[in-house]
Amino acid sequence: MQELGKKATRISRALVVTVVLCFLMLLVSTVVLVGMSRTAVRTDEWIAHTLDVKQALDVLLTTIGDAEAGQRGYLITGQAQFLVDFRAAHDSVPALVQKLRGLVAEDPVQLARVDALTPAIDRRFEAIRETLDLVATNDRAQIARIVSTRGAAAMREIRERISQMDASENRLLLERRRQAAVIRDQFVRAVSAMVIVAGIFAVMALLSVRAYMQGLDQSQRRLAAHHAELEAKVAERTAELSRSTELAERERGRAEALLTDVNHRVGNNLALVSSFLTMQQRAVTSPEAVKALSAARARVQAVASAHRKLRLGADFATVRADEVLGAVLDDICAGFPADGRIQVRYELSPLEIHARDAVSLGVLTSELVMNAVKHGFRGDDSGEVRVVFSGQGEAPFLEVIDDGVGYESNNNSQGSDRSTGTDGGGLGTRIIDMVARQFGSQSQKSPARDDAHRPGTRVRVDLPRLQLMQQA
């Protein structure tokens, strides 16, 4: 027993040394990680600064473009509303230039480019003002010369200088992102090294404990004394394991409930954003702004509807397509006039799809239905829009059919192509094309029936990349 006591003392000392070394390792690790975190924060701040400069350049170029648009609108139509747009853009440019100068104040090269950019902006606005003044004399030839010579030259110089600044910021952004990647790599290596060292210390501690247990095995009397204690510990651990299993089951149920609640809250938050857009729509007077806000609200509402119906399956990765699309279509119908002149009917197969595709499919359905309602019916026309989503025994597809005037007739009367976007492509058309490409296809348009007066429109989007899990 005396020899056993000496051995236990040596093992105890080894354990103390191991604990001290672990503490020192923890201290060094903390210092290293804090330093690397600060460096990462500074790098992220510089990345954010670079993005701010790029945004300021985009806003400045867009504002100058708005001034040009106001000039063209006034020259073409003579309406004073375009002068208001021009003056608003003109008045905001100095503040934007000053903001840009402040952002690049620490970069002499970029600051010099801003100083060189200011005269070009002044020349461009001077040319615009001269053309506006010449409207009173109706000297169209002089206006055309100013626009094609001085105005065009000044705008080219503005774009070239802004492009140079943007290219410089892109290089800075790439370099700073490279630095951030290096820091992340160093962080991973440091953590890996710490884990390895911690493993070594753990092995040392385990070896010490093992040696200590081997010393205890030499005493039959100590073994007998601890036998009952060991039995009690085994029973305690068995009970603890049972409690842990029950707790794990409860935590799984809690996680499922939380995930459902998160999806519902996301949908509610998006619905709140939709309400804000509705309030803003009522506050503005510009028809273009009202139209844009209404379209934005409809798209946000579509995403919100999809999120509120994201009830995931047992594997946390699947949703019912008919539930998601049904919620989106119900919300769209709720926004129609109460007279019921436009009816929306749908046939949705109860397919289980991957959760990552649910919102995209809801947005595609919303855009196609709103496009059909907007362009398929004139004035107080009544009609029906039918939505079909199917994948039973074939590749899944989405089809929207209306019995309206047809896309060719509507295009001739309104001067724009709702299906192909010949007017430059509206946002809704671009969204449809983008989501269709995401699913590996494109929209296909055709008349819905043989009726010269109201042929209707059929828009079909095949969905070969839509991942079907299993049928509900």
Q: What is the CATH number of the domain that holds 182?
A: 1.20.120.1730
Show the domain range for 376: 312-471
- Looking at residue 354, its pLDDT comes to 86
The pLDDT of residue 289 is above 60:
yes
Q: Which of 161, 195, 229 is the last residue of a domain?
A: 195
Query: Rounded to an integer, what distance in angstroms lies between the CA atom of residue 311 and that of residue 259?
Result: 9
Listed residue (195, 131, 127, 137) closest to 158, CA to CA: 127
Q: In what order do the strands lie in the sheet with 383-390?
A: 342-348, 383-390, 397-402, 457-462, 443-446
Q: Does residue 246 fall inside a structural domain?
A: no
**Contact assessment for residue 399 and residue 388, using Cβ atoms and an 8 Å cutoff:** yes
DSSP annotation of 147 reads: I
| 182 lies in the same domain as 328 | no
Q: Which residue has the higher pLDDT, 369 or 296?
A: 369
41-55, 73-87, 458-472: least confidently modelled range:
73-87
| Residue 227 belongs to a domain | no
Tell me the average pLDDT across 146-166.
85
pTM of this structure: 0.43
Q: Is residue 226 part of a domain?
A: no
CB 367, CB 431: distance < 8 Å = yes
* Gyration radius of the chain's alpha carbons: 34
262/103 Cα distance (integer angstroms): 38
Instruction: Tell me what percent of the residues of the chain surpass a pLDDT of 70.
Output: 81
Same-domain check for residues 185 and 322: no
What per-residue confidence (pLDDT) applies to 338?
A: 73
pLDDT tens for each residue of 215-232: 656 667 776 777 788 888
- 417 located within any domain: yes
Strand partners, 397: 390, 462
- Residue 8's pLDDT is 60
If asked whether residues 187 and 326 sit together in one domain, one would say no
The yes-or-no verdict on residue 95 having pLDDT over 70 is: yes
Asked if residue 131 is part of any domain, the answer here is: yes
CB 90 within 8 A of CB 124: no
What are the residues facing 348 on neighbouring strands? Answer: 389
Domain with 375 in it: what CATH number?
3.30.565.10
Instruction: Report the range of poorest mean pLDDT among 73-82, 118-127, 193-202, 256-265.
Output: 256-265
Question: Is 302 inside any structural domain?
Answer: no
- State the pLDDT confidence band at 212, using cuts at 50, 70 and 90: low
Residue 396 covered by a domain = yes
Give the DSSP per-residue string, 149-166. Answer: IIIHHHHHHHHHHHHHHH
Task: Please give the angle made by the CA atoms of 327, 330 and 336, to the nearest 5 degrees.
Answer: 150
92 pLDDT above the threshold of 90: no
- Spatial distance between the Cα atoms of 159 and 57, rounded to a whole number of angstroms: 10
| Residue 205 vs residues 12, 25, 108: alpha-carbon distances, Å | 10, 15, 58
Single residue among 142, 169, 195 that ends a domain in this structure: 195
DSSP 391-432: -TTS--EEEEEE-SS-HHHHHHHHSS-TTT-TTS--HHHHHH
In a domain, 251, yes or no: no
Give residue 424's pLDDT.
39
How many other C-beta atoms lie within 10 A of the C-beta of residue 22?
A: 16
Q: In what order do the strands lie in the sheet with 468-471?
A: 318-320, 351-354, 468-471
Q: Is the pLDDT of residue 468 over 60?
A: yes
Q: What is the pLDDT of residue 472?
A: 44
Residue among 263, 269, 426, 254 at smallest CA distance from 355: 263
**Phi/psi of residue 406, each to 5°?**
95, 150
**Greater model confidence, 12 or 341:** 341
Decide if 304 contacts 347 (C-beta within 8 A).
no
Mean pLDDT computed over 339-355: 87
For residue 133, pLDDT over 70 is answered with yes
Give the end of a domain, one of 156, 174, 195.
195
d(CA 459, CA 372): 9
Residue 460 · residue 397 · CB < 8 Å? yes
Residues 180 and 318 in one domain: no
Residue 268's alpha-carbon distances to 33, 177, 302, 303, 444, in angstroms, are 39, 35, 12, 10, 34
255, amino acid identity: A
* Mean pLDDT score across all residues of the chain: 79
Helix (H) or strand (E) holding 46: helix 2-77
Q: CA 126 to CA 138: how far, in whole Å?
A: 18
What total of structural domains would you count in the chain? 2
How many Cβ atoms sit within 10 Å of the Cβ of residue 365?
28
Indicate whether 317 and 188 sit together in one domain: no
Measured CA to CA in angstroms, residue 454 lies from 14, 68, 344, 378 at distances of 92, 41, 17, 11
> How is residue 22 written in tokens?
């672990």
